[in-house]
Amino acid sequence: MSICLKLREKSKRMAEERFLSIPLNEQETTISFSRDSEQVDIWTNDRTMITKLDKLCKSSPAMYRCKHVGYSMGEHEVMDKQYVCSDKSLLSFKPKKRQCAPLTDEQKAERVQRLRALQDTNGVQ
């Protein structure tokens, strides 16, 4: 068998990664970073996160890269992956969006009047 054919078969196997079956309540993601570093380390065994991070590695290889792939013993199934993101500013924490109470008809009419008055003072038609 030629070397090219062997390499083609190996890349085909790698493209068809088999994942170890992990219960949903045991799938997790860990994100760690240092205050004085711009790098973010991500470890996950969550299949959804692995898919998202693999896509980011393909679309933005300068920003994301897969650092390590963990395989199960003997089965050669992917158990987990480790990634590196080179820009810590991409990580953000946000408060939950506040739900606004629905407006009554009176409140809506009042706001329409205020908006029309504002438009009149600014000369908007």
| CA 108 to the chain's CA centroid | 38
21 inside domain: no
Phi, then psi, of 19 in degrees rounded to 5 = -105, 140
Residues 23-57: tens digit of each pLDDT: 888 899 999 999 999 999 999 999 999 999 999 99
The pLDDT value recorded for residue 16 is 59
9 inside domain: no
Rg for the chain, CA atoms, rounded: 25
Domains: count for the chain:
1
Question: Residue 10 above 60 pLDDT?
Answer: no
Average pLDDT over all residues of the chain: 85
CA distance 54 to 69: 11
Q: Are 56 and 71 in contact (CB under 8 A)?
A: no
Q: Could you tell me what percentage of the chain is helix, strand and coil, using 3-state DSSP and rounding each to the nearest 5?
A: 40, 20, 40
Domain of residue 34 covers 26-88
34 inside domain: yes
Residues 100-121: tens digit of each pLDDT: 888 899 999 999 999 999 888 8
Q: Does the pTM of the predicted model rise above 0.75?
A: no
